Amino acid sequence: MTEPQVRIRFGGGWVKAASAAACLVLLGSILGPVEVMPWPVRLGSALAAVWVLSVLLGFELRIGDGGLTRRLGPLVLHCRWTDLDTVRVKAVPGFGRVRLVLCSRNGDQISFPLFLLDDRDRIRLADRLSHHLPDTLRQQWLNDGDRLLR
C-alpha cells in the first residue's frame, strides 16, 4: 500500500519575519511618497519584495514512495529514491550545518536550507527520510543528518 506524499513548506520564525518585512517593503513601495522614493527605487524595491515572497511562499518539498520532489515556483527537481548516491547536511559559512543536500548518481542534486523549516516539519522530514532512503543510505543519513533535525 502506498503512503500519501508528505508536503513540507518553509515555515518558522525566519520565514515569518522575512515575509512580514517583504510585505512592508512592498506596501511602502506602492504607497510611499514620490518625493522620498523616486519611481525607479519604488519599482526595484517592489520587484525585490515580490521575489522574496515568491521564493518563501513558492517552496515545497514533496516526499513520497516514488522519490523526492522540490518545487520552487515553476522550477521542479525530482529524484527517485533508487537514484540517490549521497545524503548529507552541509555547512554554510557563518550559519553552520544548515543545508540538506541529496545527490543522485547522475550528478543532479536537490538541496534546501533546513533553518527555514519549523520544528514540526524538520521532524517530519527526518522521519520520512529514515523511512524512504535505501538501506545503503539510511545509515549514512542516521549518522550525518538525522540528529540535526530532531
For the chain, which residues make up each domain, given as ranges? 13-55, 64-149
Region 4-32 average pLDDT: 85
Give me the pLDDT at residue 7, please: 85
Confidence of residue 145 (pLDDT cuts 50, 70, 90): low
Instruction: Give the pTM.
Output: 0.74
Give me the pLDDT at residue 45, please: 92
Give the separation between CA 42 and CA 26, rounded to whole angstroms. Answer: 9
**What region does 112 belong to: left with phi over 0, alpha with psi -120 to 50, or beta?**
beta
Residue 150 has pLDDT above 60, yes or no: no
Give the three-class secondary structure for 132.
Answer: helix
Region 92-119 average pLDDT: 85
Which amino acid, one-letter code, is at 92? V
Give me the pLDDT at residue 83, please: 92
Give me the pLDDT at residue 107, please: 87
Give me the pLDDT at residue 48, please: 93
What letters, b where the CB count within 10 A reaches 16 and e where it falls short, cover 65-80? eebbbbbeeeeebebe
Residue 144 has pLDDT above 60, yes or no: yes
Q: CATH top-level class for 64-149?
A: mainly beta
Give the separation between CA 136 and CA 27, rounded to whole angstroms. Answer: 50
Confidence of residue 148 (pLDDT cuts 50, 70, 90): low
- Tell me the percentage of the chain whose pLDDT exceeds 70: 94
